[in-house]
Structure 1
Amino acid sequence: MKRILLIITALCLSFLVNAQDELPIRGLAIAVPDKATVGRFVKFINEELPPRKINTLVLRVDYNFQYKSYPELAQENGLSQDDVNKIVTVCQKHGIEIVPQINLLGHQSWASNLGMLLKVYPEFDETPGVTLPEKYEWPNEDGLYCKSYCPLHPDVHKVVFELVDEIVAAFQANAFHAGMDEVFYIGQEECPRCNGRDKAELFAGELTKIRNHLAQSGKKLWIWGDRLLDGKTTGLGMWEASMNNTHRAIDMIPKDIMICDWHYERVEPTAAYFALKGFDVATSSWRKGAVAQEQLTFLENIRKNAKEETAQHIKGMVHTSWSSVSSFLDGFYAPLDKSKVDDAVCFRMLFGE
C-alpha cells in the first residue's frame, strides 16, 4: 500500500510540474537589443531560455533595423542583417520561434517624439492638425496618447507591407506581430478619408488587410488584444480595452489571428472570452510575479476543464518587457527579490529559476 501511495504521489507531482510544459507557447516579448548589446542578448538566449523551455520570442523591431526597402525609415545605428543573424542562429539552435514586431496603425509617436513612419511620410498622419507638444502630459486637450496612421491612405500599405515582408524574411519568421494596441486615433472627423466611418469597421478592415497580406506567404498575424475588448461593459477602461467602439471588430475579422491578451494588475477572464470567440490566445504578464502566476493557473484550469473546442485555443503565456534589453538583463542577473515589482523578476517567477 505504501508503494502504491508513493507512486500516486509521484504521478500527481509529475502532473503539477508538467502542467506548465503542456502550454504550447512559453514566450518573452522584448525589444531587439541595440548593436552593442547583441552579444549579451545572444548569450542570455543561449544560456537562460532553454532551461526555462521558452519557445517563442516576440521581438519589437520597429525601425531599429537597416531596412533596404526604405532605408530612410531606419533609425541611426539600427541592427544589421549580421546582427539579426546572430539572434536567429541561437534561436534556431534551441527551437525558439521568433515573431518580429512593427507597430502598425497606432503607436506612431511616443510622448513628444514622432515615429519614423510619420516623420518621413507626414501625409500618412490620421491627425496632422495635432502638434506634438514640447512637454507631453496626459490628459491633454487633443486626446493625444500616440498618433496613428490613416488606414485608408492609398499609399500607406505599400510602404508598411514592404517593411513587414523584409523584417519577416530577415528573422526567418513564420509569424509577424503588428501591435495594434492602444489605438485612440481612428476614424477622426478631421481625416478626409475616415470621417464618418464606423471605427470598428475601420479597425477590422486594417486587421484583415494585414492578415491577408501575411497569408499570401503563409505567415500568421499576431496582435495585442485590448482594442477587441469592450472597456465600458467590462470595466477595463481605455487602456486595457476600447472606449471608442473598436471592440465590435472581434466579430468582423478572421479567426486565425493570434491574440496576446495583456493585463498587468490582476487576473481578467478575457483569455477565455477570446477562446470562446474562436481565437488562439496567450496571456501576457509584465511586472507582478504573483499576478503572473495566478494568470498561469487560470489558463491551466481552462485547458484542464473546458471543452476541447475552447481549451485548444488557450496557447500559453507571453511575458512582456517594456524596458531596454540592457535594463532587463541587469534586472535578470541581479539577486532575486520576489517582492520587487519588476519585469525581469516577474519573468523569473513565472518561468522558474
Structure 2
Amino acid sequence: MQSIDPKGSYQFLRRGTKNPFPPDLIFNANNAGKANSNPTDTGEIPFGSGSLCQGSPVGWKWNSLMDTGVDIRINFSKEFFIGAVCLELTDSAGVAFVEVFSLAGGSNNGELTCVGRIDARTGDLIKGEITVPIGVRAATLVVRLQADLKEIIVAKLAVIGAEANEPDIYPTPKSVCYHDGQYPLEALKAIAFSASVSASATADMEFAAGFVQERFRECLGIDLPIVSSPTSPITTSPDTDFKGGFVALTLDESIKPNGYRLHVHAGGVEIAASQRIGLLYAAETLIQLTKKSVLPYCEINDEPRCPVRGIHFGLPPREGLPFMKRLVRYVLIPMRYNTIFLEFAGGMRFDRHPEISAGWVQANRDAKAGIKPRFPHGEIVAGGELLEKYEVRDFVDYCKQFGIEVIPEVQSFGHVQYITYAHPEIAEVAEETAQEKKLDTRLADQPPSTVYHHVYCPLHEKSYEIIYDIIDEIIEVVRPERYVHMGHDEIYYIGLCPRCRDKDHADLYELHVRRMYDYLAKKGLKMMIWCDMLQPTERFKTHPARERLPRDIVLLDFVWYYHLDLDLEDNLLPYGYKIIMGNMYSSHYPRFEQRIAKEGMIGGEVSTWCRCDEYTFAKKGKTFDLIYSAEMFWSETYDSRARQVYNAWIAKLIPRLRDELRGIAKPFHQPVSTKALALPTSSAPRLPVAVAEALKHSPNRLEGRTFDFTNAQRLTTTPIEVPVGENFSKIVFLHATANNAERIARKPLREIGRYIVRYADGSLAEIPVEYAGNICVYTRRYGEPMKNIYYRHHGYIATYWGDPLLQAKTEDGRDVIALGYEWVNPHPEREITCILCQGNDETDADILLLGICGIR
C-alpha cells in the first residue's frame, strides 16, 4: 500500500453540532508535558498543521466533556476508500464508545451515516489503541468520541485507506510513477528480446516471452508474435531496428534478485529483470495494468521485502496435480511467491524401500476404512496413495520452470510413522507404552495416535541407513538447488528406549541434526528444520542444543501461535541463525511489520496442512491467505491496520483467479449476459430488519450481476421452486445466513441447506449450501479472521466461493453482507427448467436467499 498525502482539513466540534470545541488539554515538548490550550486548534485546520497533525496529544478535561463527547471532523478534498480509523488514547484517558460517520458526497451536502462503531464492555471504558473497521468510500468523516466523566486525550489518529477499492497492482510495488498519457493495446506489434551469448539467459528470455504471449492471449484475447535479435539489444526506441510497438524484454544484472523494472511510454513497453522469475513478475504487473484496455504511461521499480516467500504443502494426490499446477501459475507467480516447501512423507514410491511404500498405502487405506486411526499426514501427502517418481519429477520441473525454488521436506526423527510402520524395530518406544492424552486443541496441536510410532531411535544405526536412502531418492527426483528441509519438529517421544533413556535429550537431538547436516553437506546441500525443539518455551528438553548447532541451518519458527504475546524469534536470532516465519498465517500472526524488520528474519511460508485440491483450500481459507500474505511478504509498505483495504482489493481479484484455477477464464473485456431469476412469492419472508433495509437501498445490479430482490426470503425445510427455462453457464446465488453455524476445526463444513438444479432432460445437479464455505452470517465482514487461536490453521471462512456482492451498513454502523456464490454449471448445454431451494432444521443458521442471477 502506497502512502497517500491527501489535501484536506480537520476540526474539533461539540458532539453532534457544528460548534467549535477546541481542546483544553494540549501536550508538546515546549511546555514540558504540561497541558495548555492551542489557539491554532480552533475552526478548520489544514492537514499538516495543528497539534494533532504535528504529533502532539490533544484532549479535553472531564468537566468540559461531562457525559457528552467530541466530534473530530475530517474533510478530504476527494473521496477515498476508507479501511479503518485508528486511534490511540493516553493511559489516563477513556471513552464509552467510538462512532465513525461518513459523508460520501463531501462536507456540504447530505447527511452523516454511521459506518463504524466500537463499544466498551459493560461498565468499562475503551482505552489505549482503538481500531474501527470501516470499508466504505467517503470524502468526509466524523470520528465521535463518547465521554463518560473522564478526560479524553488523543495521542494519535490515523485514517487508513486507499484511493480505490480495487488495486492497480497487487502486491503493492516498491515504486510507481505515473505519467500523462496512455499506450493503446492495439498498437503493440510483438514481444521482442535479444538472444544472449549465454544459453541459460537465452532460455530465460524465451520462456518469459512465451509467458507474456500466453498471458496476453488468455487475458486480453491478443495474440502477439515473438521476435528476437541475435545481435542488437532490444529497446522500444525508434532509433533501433525495432521501431516501437513492442513488449521488449531484457536481462539486467544490476536489478536485485526477484526484482524488476517496467516502463510504459510512447514507444511501447520495456521489461527488465536479473532473473527469469523477475521477468514473470513484471509480466503479471503488465497484465494488471491492461484491465482498462489501455496501458498508462508509467515507470515501476519493484523488489521484494522478504527473500523467502513460500508455501508449504504435501505432494498433491494424482487427481490434484492439474489444480496445483494452475495454483503455481495463476496464484504463486502473480502473488510473487518464490519458494515451495514440498513434504514427501511416504507419498512417493521408494525403490530402495518398497516395504515403506506398501506400508504407507495399506495404513492409509485401513484408516479410510475405519479399521485403524487416521494415519499421520496421510490425507495431506498424495491423498494417502503413491505417486510414481516420474509424476513427482514432472510436477517439480513444472514449478521450477517459473524460477520457483522447490525445497523437499523429508520428515526425520519425528513424524516418521511412514517409516516406523514398516520398521517398528527402530521406533523410539518405552518398554511400557504411555496412555494417549487428549489435549485442549485451542492451545496445542493434538499429538498423533500412539498406535503409530512417531519417532525413530537416534542411536539405532538402521534409522540412518533408511533415512539416508530416502534422502537420496528424493534428492535424485527433486534436484534441489540449495536446501533440504529435514523436519525435526514435535519429537514427542525422546529418550525412552533402552539405548536412549539415560541420555541427555539435547545431546540426542544435536546428534541427529548433525548427522543429517553432514550427510547433506557431502552432497553440496544445506539444511532447514522446524525449530520448536529449540524454543525454551516448549515442553521439550532439547533447547540447549541451540547453542551448539551449525549456524547456517535455517530455522522455521511455527510455535509463535502458542505465544502471541512473545516474539519467539528473539530466543534464536542472537545465536546467528536465519529464521523463516513457519506456518505464517496472516489471520493470526502478530506484529509482522516490527518482527520482519529484525536482522536475520528472511521471510515466511504459508502452510496448508491439508489435501491439495480446490475445495479443501477454499474450505480452510488457504487461497485467501496466500493472496493476503503476498502483500506482507512483498511490500515494504504493508500496514496491518489496513486489513479492510486489502480485503476489498482481494475480493476484486478472486473472481478472475477462481476461473483461472478452474481452467475456464475468459479475456477481461469479453461481454457477459446476465438475467435475474425471480423467486416465488413468500407469505412470510422473515428477513432480518438490517437485511431488508439494505435491500431497499441496494441497486439490482451488483458487480455486473443482476438480481430481483422482490421476493427475497428465509428458506425453510419446504423447498421453493424457482422457474428458469433457459441455458446458463453459471448461476449466482446471493445469500447469507440469519445466524452462524459452528465451524469445527479439521471437520467437514456444516450443510445448512441445498439447491437442486433440475434440467429439462430430468437429470439433477445438487449443490450443498455449506456454512463457512459458500455462505456466511450476514453480520460477518468479508475476510475478517477467525481470531481465536483455535482457528490458527484455517483462519478465514467463506472467502473463496462467495464474493461480497452486497455490502451495507446498519443505522448504528454495523456491517450487512451477502455473498454471491457462483456455481459453475457442469452441463451448460442442457436447459435448466427450475431450481429447488431449501434449508434444513439442524441449526438456526437459516438461509436468507436474496436473489438468483443466471450468467449465459
Task: Give the TM-score taking structure 2 as reference length.
Answer: 0.33
1:138 match = 438
Query: Aligned to 1:91, which of 399, 408, 432?
Result: 399
Structure 1 residue 180 displacement after superposition: 0.9
Structure 2 counterpart of 1:41, one-letter code: M
Query: Aligned to 2:457, which of 150, 154, 158?
Result: 150
Which shows bigger deviation, 329-338 or 70-79?
329-338
Q: Give unpaired runs (5+ residues) of structure 2.
A: 7-171, 177-300, 362-384, 440-446, 624-657, 659-772, 775-780, 800-856
Tell whether the 8 Å contact from 2:448 to 2:454 is kept in structure 1 after alignment.
no
Q: Structure 1 residue 321 and structure 2 residue 628: aligned?
A: no
Query: Aligned to 1:73, which of 320, 342, 356?
Result: 356
Deviations 1:25-48 (A, max 9, x none): 000111111111111111111111
Tell whether the 8 Å contact from 2:427 to 2:457 is kept in structure 1 after alignment.
yes
Q: Given the superposition, is the C-alpha separation of residues 55 and 339 from structure 1 closer, same or farther in structure 2, using an over 3 Å criterion?
A: same
1:251 match = 547
Structure 2 counterpart of 1:300, one-letter code: I
Tell whether the 8 Å contact from 1:220 to 1:257 is kept in structure 2 after alignment.
yes
Structure 1 counterpart of 2:583, one-letter code: S
Q: Given the superposition, is the C-alpha separation of residues 143 and 66 from structure 1 closer, same or farther in structure 2, using an over 3 Å criterion?
A: closer
Determine the C-alpha separation between the residues in 1 that align with 2:339 and 2:520.
19
Note the aligned Cα RMSD (angstroms).
3.1
SS at structure 1 position matched to 2:313: strand
Tell whether the 8 Å contact from 2:173 to 2:303 is kept in structure 1 after alignment.
no
Structure 1 residue 102 displacement after superposition: 2.2
Q: Given the superposition, is the C-alpha separation of residues 192 and 297 from structure 1 closer, same or farther in structure 2, using an over 3 Å criterion?
A: same
Determine the C-alpha separation between the residues in 2 that align with 1:19 and 1:131.
56
Structure 1 residue 195 displacement after superposition: 2.0
Q: Give unpaired runs (5+ residues) of structure 1.
A: 7-12, 109-114, 232-240, 303-310
Structure 1 residue 339 displacement after superposition: 2.1
Query: Aligned to 1:298, which of 577, 588, 594?
Result: 594
Determine the C-alpha separation between the residues in 2 that align with 1:250 and 1:25.
22
1:281 match = 579
1:180 match = 488
Tell whether the 8 Å contact from 2:484 to 2:525 is kept in structure 1 after alignment.
yes
Structure 1 counterpart of 2:499, one-letter code: R
What is the aligned-residue identity percentage?
Answer: 23
Structure 1 counterpart of 2:428, one-letter code: E
SS at structure 2 position matched to 1:187: coil
SS at structure 1 position matched to 2:428: coil
2:106 match = none
Structure 1 residue 207 displacement after superposition: 0.6
Deviations 1:227-283 (A, max 9, x none): 00112xxxxxxxxx2x23200010121111110001235363122332221111101
Tell whether the 8 Å contact from 1:19 to 1:300 is kept in structure 2 after alignment.
no
Aligned residues: 305
Which shows bigger deviation, 166-175 or 203-212?
166-175
Q: Structure 1 residue 270 and structure 2 residue 577: aligned?
A: no
Q: Structure 1 residue 207 and structure 2 residue 524: aligned?
A: no
SS at structure 1 position matched to 2:597: helix
Determine the C-alpha separation between the residues in 1 that align with 2:398 and 2:565.
33
Q: Given the superposition, is the C-alpha separation of residues 143 and 99 from structure 1 closer, same or farther in structure 2, using an over 3 Å criterion?
A: closer
Determine the C-alpha separation between the residues in 2 that align with 1:328 and 1:143.
23
Work out which of the two has the higher radius of gyration on C-alpha atoms and give 1 or 2: 2
Determine the C-alpha separation between the residues in 2 that align with 1:205 and 1:182.
17
Structure 1 residue 56 displacement after superposition: 0.7
Structure with the greater relative contact order (CA < 8 A, sep ≥ 6): 1 or 2? 1
SS at structure 2 position matched to 1:279: coil
1:169 match = 476
Which shows bigger deviation, 85-94 or 253-262?
85-94
Tell whether the 8 Å contact from 2:584 to 2:605 is kept in structure 1 after alignment.
no
Deviations 1:83-109 (A, max 9, x none): 21232222212211111112111123x
Determine the C-alpha separation between the residues in 1 that align with 2:573 and 2:331.
31
Query: Aligned to 1:103, which of 403, 407, 411?
Result: 411
SS at structure 1 position matched to 2:311: strand
Determine the C-alpha separation between the residues in 2 that align with 1:61 and 1:201.
27
Tell whether the 8 Å contact from 2:313 to 2:608 is kept in structure 1 after alignment.
yes
Structure 1 residue 345 displacement after superposition: 6.4
Q: Answer 1 or 2: which has greater helix percent.
A: 1
Structure 1 residue 132 displacement after superposition: 9.1
SS at structure 2 position matched to 1:285: coil
SS at structure 2 position matched to 1:264: helix
Query: Aligned to 1:24, which of 307, 319, 325?
Result: 307
Tell whether the 8 Å contact from 1:282 to 1:317 is kept in structure 2 after alignment.
yes
Q: Answer 1 or 2: which has greater strand percent.
A: 2
1:196 match = 502
Structure 1 residue 210 displacement after superposition: 0.5
SS at structure 1 position matched to 2:421: helix
Structure 1 residue 340 displacement after superposition: 4.5
